[in-house]
Structure 1
Amino acid sequence: MNTKVKDSLIVLQGKWKTGKTTLSPTNQDLNQDLPVFGSRVYCESYSLDHAATEEGGGSTVLKSNDTSSAIVAQASSVPLSASSSAEEELFTLMSRRKNESANYSTLGNLLFSVLIIQRARNAFHSGRTKPVEFREKQLNQLLRLYEENVPEMLTALSTDLRKSKQESLMTEIEYMKNDLKNTIHNLREWAKPEKPPKGFVNMLDGVLIYNDPYGVVLIMGAWNYPLQLALLPMAGAIAAGNTVILKPSEVSPASAQLIAKLMPKYLDQECFHVVLGGVPETTQLLKEKFDYIFYTGSTEVGKIVRRAANEHLTPVTLELGGKSPVYLDNTADLEMAVKRIMWGKCINAGQTCIAPDYLLCSKQVEKEFVSKAKTILKEWYGEKSKESPDLCRIVTDRHYQRLVGLLKGGTVAVGGETDASEKFISPTIIVDVKPTDPIMQEEIFGPILPVVNVESAFDAIKFINSREEPLTLYVFTTDKKVRELILSQTRSGSTCINDTLMHFKPLAFYIFTKSSKDRDLLINNVSCGGVCCNDTIMHLTVDTLPFGGVGNSGIGSYHGKYSFDTFTHKKSCLVKDFNGLGEKLAASRYPPYSEKKIAMLGFLLKKRTGVSLKYLPHLVMFGLGIAATFGFRAIAQV
């Protein structure tokens, strides 16, 4: 098929009628006509190779059959021209239909995604995202989006997850506003070329690292924090100078629709776009070439994203999950530890990637923990926790049924109430749990906390290291040696000491103990994304800490400056002048070679430890200046 046409080319696979030609189907009904202005449109399938064309200035309308199945739209090798008035008209029409209809068709979303990817690429290549002033303006606009639409955000979050006002403000809105303000304040400093240390051989040269944007970035958000997990990485991508295709999760539809509604009102419509939809749209997006992909979600889907990215050698950040363990010993303040652990487990109904997944403690600590947890949960949520306005609901019936199935292992010591009509599960603690029980085989992602008994920090390390790396490791202890032991002997994405969630292989590991010996033992011997000692979740709020996983819990990190770095390619640059002194120093590299030149190269290239050469060029020039001054004086006296 000849694809060299004057106007844009869009390839469609599916069943269509154009004039007298009927084409073969793939799979999903489509109830709208597709206008194509001033372009050739090739329609092809596995069995047919027909082309429907309308040349000249008129337009063609492709009408779908009533029984037509899912249409897959993909861009051809012929780029869409951003300057084409026909394509502008098509894009405008598609945008209007998209905004007017909440039930926008699968084909509409797929074709729309094809158009916007090319528009985003054209915008990036035009250079409009490179100036820091443009980035600052867009970040300020994103901040305005948050400041001016809080009521709508609260409504969307309540609709999707029945989040309370305080929880929504704390975890989704104020958190994001603070991150944006921090990014705006520091952006100019972050964007400056970096000046790394120089060696002796380059003392007269310019050695720089430029922070280059990747290009067109695909960001795929998650449903559990549908605003934060979509727009926080997007802020980093904007700060770095990229254009963005944002795909919110379809599992939180109210939040996704709100993002799609608000973004075009505040951000540059050439550079930043939203694609709505489910699996078909996501599948098609992953077939396209992006310059960077940022995905937040499950490990299973993360592997699919990674495989798709590998086809184009596209770099990725994968923010996944994992069973984040909590280690609690008898040195910790138990009442405070119970509050912090149960808060981390109950916030968002446990639907948090770094929520404490299971508790490791002795049998004696378990008894005291359960007793105090009963009292504290009653204080927080009352006798009938289902009536509390402060507890979220499980996001879908499928997730609810999965969690109910996990309640069958072990013995319910606290909670256990369920209501399918509301997708409600009360905060629950399960004891007598075996490592082989179903609840210990997958990330729970709900308000259920199983307790596994261990006798020491060494047993906890052995248990954690026998499983996949968690995103976060939580350590509750006051014993510094225990903390350092755990940190050095485990692997995780991050660690939080004596708290949960407030920091950001397990994704997280929580340790509660006063023993520094046990704390160090655990920190040094467990692999996880991060560690939080004597709290949960709270490490997430520290924007100077990178947040990310290791192994099955993810690849890469972000938050604060780390978000900027994630979406930035570090471009090395060496700048040499044509000065005689520098050329003299480097002349030993030229043939003919000799022992003398080998010795000179060895001297120049030798690594000099303990000596900073940062100011050596200035000292050399100062010395040369002094020598020149005395030389001129001597000449003048003659």
Structure 2
Amino acid sequence: MDIQALVTAQRAYFKTGATLPLSARRGALQRLRAAMKAHETDITAALKADLNKSPAESYMCEVGLTLSELTFVERRLARWMRDRPHLTPLAQFPARSFTVSEPYGVVLIMSPWNYPFLLTMEPLIGAVAAGNCCVVKPSADSPAVSAVIRTILAECFPPELVAVVEGGRAENQALLDQRFDYIFFTGGAAVGREVMAKAAVHLTPVTLELGGKSPCIVDKTARLELAAKRLVFGKLLNCGQTCVAPDYLLIDRRVKDRFLAYVKRWITVLYGSDPLDNKGYVRMVNRKHFDRVMGLINPAQVVFGGQGDPAALAIQPTILDPVSPEDAVMQEEIFGPVLPVLTFDAVQEALDFVNARPRPLALYLFSQDREVQEQFLRRASSGGGCINDTIIHLATSRMGFGGVGDSGMGSYHGKASFDAFSHRKSIVKKSTLVDLPVRYPPYTRTKARLLRLFLR
């Protein structure tokens, strides 16, 4: 594929204004919905091939969430597209002030392999709703889903509106060498820095959805069994290959043993006595990732699990205890079913521990103490998170989702997606019937007094 020619064709198409009308945007979203439903079986089979996701998990975490986002955006798009009025300062009277949402133009979406369908389609929905043309680059590590995405989008859209570029690093570099009007990237921090550096050449704005070591803090007041159940759900969803998965456990020393007993119990209840025998247990995406995660498991620290099956690329849910901040497992995002355990004696220690590290994409706190909840809410920075649960804060179109600091910049979902792919243009429409002279030279004492009256 001639990538430069593709971008040029999309830019020419955008200049025709064909993407601007509400009818065009709604029609595009409706075609996408129809194609998704027609290919739902293919999507499920592709997720099974790439990650061994079960049909239920595939629908819950990928297809269903995408359809929900489509419904939310379709129903509200007309309202979002309207000009937004603003009060006009008295000094500018008579005039009308308003803001206009205009599409950036030609945008690039680079998606990851861990939720390969959801994390491609959700930003695409926002880009199309905002009136952009779009080049989509799925991950080479999820080839089956990438092929289905290519098929679906080719059925929905002409390539000058939405096109898919498949491939690996060479194609990524070729795309990033082009001038796009906006880049949306989901992936790791190292590649995110490369994307931002390439974007800087053309002063292209970016959204970076990265990751990091998202902590799960459990204090002595937490409802331990329920907290353990919800932690296991969040940690083992997609076998830990989730950007907002609880990366490590930070727990009050006084309740650690009781809590870990509940964690072990819930792993067994939800996944069986040996999850490696569970046909619906998600696997690691490839051998490289399998080996990396297995390399983080120190056998001397294993108190549960610890085994892997190289042939199936599957790793048992694993608990490591005790762990120190200097251990290898605490030096990088795990992105797998391994839970390091660290302890604290006072809540302030836990807060200081979190704040001494790069700001995570998510933070999870289990506590019944409202003062502790407020303390972490106001004093621990993160992209988002939950109190007394995990993961679910991102499963809504009514709130934006994104990172901060090392975990990313910008947000999306619902209205936030529309805004991410739109430039909000401020306009003052001034009357020609009256022209107040106060702003024009010469600046007399009377004008100076009037200026002080208006501008204070």
Instruction: Quickly name the TM-score band, shorter chain normalised.
Output: over 0.9
Give the structure with the higher percent helix.
Answer: 2
Does the alignment pair 1:231 with 2:124?
A: no
Equivalent position of 2:255 in the other structure = 365
Give the structure with the higher percent strand.
Answer: 1
Equivalent position of 1:611 in the other structure = none
Note the 1:57-68 alignment, pairs <5 A. Answer: none
In the alignment, the residues of structure 2 paired with residue 267 and residue 462 of structure 1 have an alpha-carbon distance, to the nearest angstrom, of: 50
Task: Verify the 8 A CA contact 1:409 1:439 in the aligned structure 2.
Answer: no
SS in 2 for 1:575: strand
Cα deviation per residue 1:255-304 (whole Å; 9 max; x = unaligned)? 00111122111123321100000000101111110000000000000000
1:558 to 399, 406, 412: 412
SS in 2 for 1:244: strand
Equivalent position of 2:146 in the other structure = 256
Cα deviation per residue 1:470-517 (whole Å; 9 max; x = unaligned)? 00111111111111111211111112xxxxxxxxxxxxxxxxxxxxxx
In the alignment, the residues of structure 1 paired with residue 17 and residue 300 of structure 2 have an alpha-carbon distance, to the nearest angstrom, of: 59
Equivalent position of 1:299 in the other structure = 189
SS in 1 for 2:383: strand
Equivalent position of 2:326 in the other structure = 436
SS in 2 for 1:591: coil
> How far apart are residue 604 of structure 1 and its match?
2.0
Q: CA RMSD, aligned part only?
A: 1.1
In the alignment, the residues of structure 2 paired with residue 119 and residue 228 of structure 1 have an alpha-carbon distance, to the nearest angstrom, of: 27
Amino acid aligned to 1:300:
A
Equivalent position of 1:587 in the other structure = 437
1:375 to 265, 274, 291: 265
Cα deviation per residue 1:413-441 (whole Å; 9 max; x = unaligned)? 12112111111101111111010000000
1:269 to 156, 159, 164: 159
Does the alignment pair 1:459 with 2:349?
A: yes
In the alignment, the residues of structure 1 paired with residue 148 and residue 271 of structure 2 have an alpha-carbon distance, to the nearest angstrom, of: 30
1:386 to 276, 286, 302: 276
Equivalent position of 2:387 in the other structure = 533
Does the alignment pair 1:180 with 2:66?
A: no
Identity of aligned residues (%): 41
In the alignment, the residues of structure 1 paired with residue 110 and residue 170 of structure 2 have an alpha-carbon distance, to the nearest angstrom, of: 14
In the alignment, the residues of structure 2 paired with residue 294 and residue 224 of structure 1 have an alpha-carbon distance, to the nearest angstrom, of: 16
In the alignment, the residues of structure 1 paired with residue 8 and residue 129 of structure 2 have an alpha-carbon distance, to the nearest angstrom, of: 21
Note the 1:160-559 alignment, pairs <5 A. Answer: 160-408=50-298, 411-495=301-385, 532-559=386-413
> How far apart are residue 328 of structure 1 and its match?
0.5
> How far apart are residue 587 of structure 1 and its match?
1.1
Cα deviation per residue 1:309-346 (whole Å; 9 max; x = unaligned)? 00000000000010000110121111110010011011
Amino acid aligned to 1:398:
K
Cα deviation per residue 1:573-593 (whole Å; 9 max; x = unaligned)? 00011123xx2xx31112221
Kindly report structure 1 stretches of 4+ aligned residues shifted beyond 6 Å.
none
Task: Verify the 8 A CA contact 2:126 2:417 in the aligned structure 1.
Answer: yes
Equivalent position of 1:498 in the other structure = none
Task: Verify the 8 A CA contact 2:32 2:152 in the aligned structure 1.
Answer: no
> How far apart are residue 563 of structure 1 and its match?
0.2
> How far apart are residue 410 of structure 1 and its match?
5.6
In the alignment, the residues of structure 1 paired with residue 164 and residue 123 of structure 2 have an alpha-carbon distance, to the nearest angstrom, of: 14
Unaligned runs of 5+ in 2: none
Cα deviation per residue 1:335-393 (whole Å; 9 max; x = unaligned)? 11001001101110000000000011122322012111222111112222111123100
Amino acid aligned to 2:348:
F
In the alignment, the residues of structure 1 paired with residue 255 and residue 312 of structure 2 have an alpha-carbon distance, to the nearest angstrom, of: 34
SS in 1 for 2:391: strand
Amino acid aligned to 1:568:
S
Task: Verify the 8 A CA contact 1:381 1:388 in the aligned structure 2.
Answer: yes
In the alignment, the residues of structure 1 paired with residue 446 and residue 348 of structure 2 have an alpha-carbon distance, to the nearest angstrom, of: 59
Residue 258 and residue 330 in structure 1: after superposition, are their counterparts in 2 closer, same or farther (change >3 A)? same
Amino acid aligned to 1:604:
F
Taking structure 2 as the reference length, what is the TM-score of the superposition? 0.98
Note the 1:15-94 alignment, pairs <5 A. Answer: none
> How far apart are residue 114 of structure 1 and its match?
2.2
SS in 2 for 1:569: strand
Note the 1:582-621 alignment, pairs <5 A. Answer: 583=435, 586-606=436-456
Does the alignment pair 1:142 with 2:28?
A: no
In the alignment, the residues of structure 2 paired with residue 450 and residue 150 of structure 1 have an alpha-carbon distance, to the nearest angstrom, of: 37
Amino acid aligned to 1:492:
S
Equivalent position of 1:116 in the other structure = 6
SS in 1 for 2:167: coil
Amino acid aligned to 1:538:
I
> How far apart are residue 203 of structure 1 and its match?
4.6
Does the alignment pair 1:570 with 2:424?
A: yes
Task: Verify the 8 A CA contact 1:415 1:429 in the aligned structure 2.
Answer: yes
Unaligned runs of 5+ in 1: 1-108, 496-531, 607-638
> How far apart are residue 149 of structure 1 and its match?
1.1
Task: Verify the 8 A CA contact 1:416 1:425 in the aligned structure 2.
Answer: yes
In the alignment, the residues of structure 2 paired with residue 133 and residue 352 of structure 1 have an alpha-carbon distance, to the nearest angstrom, of: 36
Task: Verify the 8 A CA contact 1:410 1:434 in the aligned structure 2.
Answer: no
In the alignment, the residues of structure 1 paired with residue 235 and residue 202 of structure 2 have an alpha-carbon distance, to the nearest angstrom, of: 39
In the alignment, the residues of structure 2 paired with residue 202 and residue 596 of structure 1 have an alpha-carbon distance, to the nearest angstrom, of: 18
Equivalent position of 2:19 in the other structure = 129
Greater relative CO, 1 or 2 (CA 8 Å, sep 6+): 2
Residue 246 and residue 493 in structure 1: after superposition, are their counterparts in 2 closer, same or farther (change >3 A)? same
Task: Verify the 8 A CA contact 1:214 1:292 in the aligned structure 2.
Answer: yes
In the alignment, the residues of structure 2 paired with residue 193 and residue 318 of structure 1 have an alpha-carbon distance, to the nearest angstrom, of: 28
In the alignment, the residues of structure 2 paired with residue 410 and residue 206 of structure 1 have an alpha-carbon distance, to the nearest angstrom, of: 70
> How far apart are residue 442 of structure 1 and its match?
0.1
In the alignment, the residues of structure 2 paired with residue 264 and residue 374 of structure 1 have an alpha-carbon distance, to the nearest angstrom, of: 46
Residue 323 and residue 299 in structure 1: after superposition, are their counterparts in 2 closer, same or farther (change >3 A)? same
Number of aligned residues = 456
Taking structure 1 as the reference length, what is the TM-score of the superposition? 0.70
> How far apart are residue 409 of structure 1 and its match?
6.8
Cα deviation per residue 1:31-64 (whole Å; 9 max; x = unaligned)? xxxxxxxxxxxxxxxxxxxxxxxxxxxxxxxxxx
